[in-house]
């Protein structure tokens, strides 16, 4: 478990160091089965790809880390609006009934809107869904939830 977490952190660190392109940081509210909040970080990797890392707090005693590789593209019919889709992994830890971990694979799809040209603030607003296939300690599928993200772009 510790090795997996270290690998996820290393991948994030390498991608941040390798690319000096656009970044965004903020919150993603509604993640983690509908009642959680995540600190969200996005890093452009070049072209249409980017990496999103979310550290979430869900309920009283559960937190998790999601790392998702995404492709992102504009929707030409609507200026400043884009779509994205991606896959990645998720690790959660809960201490509610003792300490336990869940490990799963996630998919994510959504839309985002860049407010910079509209109100002259470097904000991004997103709406997405993230289903999860839990693989450890038991296999289970969760359809995910719709989450609203607000990130400061820099």
We report the CATH number of the domain holding residue 23 as: 2.40.160.20
Residue 120 has what DSSP assignment? Answer: S
* Average pLDDT score over residue span 21-37: 81
Evaluate whether 28 touches 38 at the Cβ level (below 8 Å): yes
Q: Which of 15-19, 78-82, 89-93, 106-110 has the lowest mean pLDDT?
A: 15-19
Q: For residue range 120-138, what is the model confidence (pLDDT) as tens digits?
A: 899 999 999 999 999 999 9
Q: For residue range 1-20, what is the model confidence (pLDDT) as tens digits?
A: 554 444 444 444 444 444 44
How far is C-alpha 35 from the geometric centre of its chain's CA atoms? 15
| Distance, CA of 6 to CA of 3 (rounded, Å) | 5
Burial of 12 (0-12, 13-18, 19+ CB in 10 A): middle
Domain membership of residue 131 as a residue range: 2-153
End-to-end distance of the chain based on CA atoms, in angstroms? Answer: 33
Provide CB contacts within 8 A for 76, sequence distance 6+: none
The total number of structural domains in the chain stands at: 1
């Amino acid at each position: 478990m510790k090795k997996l977490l270290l690998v996820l952190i290393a991948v994030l660190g390498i991608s941040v160091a390798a690319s000096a392109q656009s970044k965004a940081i903020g919150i993603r509210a509604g993640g983690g089965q509908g009642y959680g909040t995540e600190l969200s970080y996005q890093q452009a990797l070049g072209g249409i790809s980017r990496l999103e890392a979310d550290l979430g707090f869900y309920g009283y005693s559960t937190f998790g880390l999601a790392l998702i590789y995404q492709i992102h593209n504009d929707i030409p019919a609507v200026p400043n609006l884009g779509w994205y889709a991606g896959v990645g992994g998720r690790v959660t830890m809960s201490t509610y009934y003792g300490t336990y971990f869940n490990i799963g694979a996630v998919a994510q799809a959504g839309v985002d809107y860049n407010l910079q040209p509209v109100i002259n603030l470097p904000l991004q607003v997103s709406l997405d869904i993230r289903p999860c296939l839990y693989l450890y300690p038991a296999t289970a599928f969760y359809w995910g939830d719709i989450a609203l993200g607000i990130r400061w772009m820099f």
